[in-house]
Amino acid sequence: MEAFSFSGKHVLITGAGSGIGRLMALGAARRGASHIVLWDLNPAGIKAVAEEISALGVKASIHKVDVSQRASVIAAASAVIEDIGHLDVLVNNAGIVSGKSFLELEEKDITSTFGVNTLALFWTIQAFLPGMLERDSGRLVSIASAAGIAGSTKLTDYSGSKFAAVGVMEALRAELREAASSVSALTVYPFYINTGMFDGVKSSSPLLRIQNQDVATAKILDAIESPRRELFLPGMVYSVRIFRLLPAAAFDWIADAFGINKAMKNFRGRKK
């Protein structure tokens, strides 16, 4: 795979009304994207981001979309294609976390988490991949999580949804390779990022620090513009793959030693 470039591209970002979704949208605009499509459930948020993008001299359009609902995605995707013709970059960034222990989880917590964090990948990619395959060009990006390769307390629904998202992207990469397609896929595995989504979370390990949102965003944008298929933030997250070669008891001991199971102890989450 060759390096990619935002220059002149049409980019869609879900969950673009705040956090790294907003920062990625602004970053893509600064890197030369010609049109940024902003999806979020918060119209006021994406309207503000669109104004910031317009101030940079780049076109932006907004759509209130519930990415967990296929009908909502299909309707918005049709509007996007009608408006700008095609999509070059799809960034599945929208995500939610309940932060509850297993027995505290209610049905709505579980279905909402999987709806936004996992099912949305199916609905959005199925909506835009056909056009990318027809043009034999495009970049599919999923902001997964380090929780997609290592489980933790108070993250059973979140971690489960991210494990599933990782599997979706891995299998999709396989299909694209088999089809000899130039469409590429990137999966991002960030540790906690200080966007407010995981407000209250603490890390007791100097090797796994809470990630700065501006630094993390720059690295994600760099990865999108590279041939990379995976990005670990920080790089230490990759060691989880190595530790998984150990027996489960040893892996659990290492996870506890790094304080992973204590990180969510004071979780508050983003203020509504």
Contact 26, 50 (CB under 8 A): no
Contact 62, 111 (CB under 8 A): no
Question: Is 158 considered catalytic here?
Answer: yes
Nearest C-alpha neighbor of 184 from the set 237, 223, 145: 223
- SS3 of residue 67 by DSSP: coil
Exposed e or buried b for every residue in 48-70, given b needs 16+ CB within 10 A? bbbeebeeeebbbbbbbbbbbeb
Show the CA angle centred on residue 19, arms to residues 12 and 105, nearest 5°.
Answer: 100
Count the neighbouring beta carbons within 10 Å of the beta carbon of residue 222. Answer: 13
User: H helices of the chain, where?
Assistant: 19-30, 43-55, 70-84, 107-114, 120-135, 156-178, 213-224, 239-243, 248-257
Here the tokens at position 5 are 């470039």
Nearest C-alpha neighbor of 102 from the set 88, 91, 113: 113
Among residues 158, 189, 192, 238, the one annotated as catalytic is: 158
Strand partners, 179: none
- What distances in angstroms separate CA 139 from CA 54, 69, 152, one per listed residue? 23, 23, 30
Quickly tell me which residue has 């700065």 as its tokens.
212
Residues known to be catalytic = 158
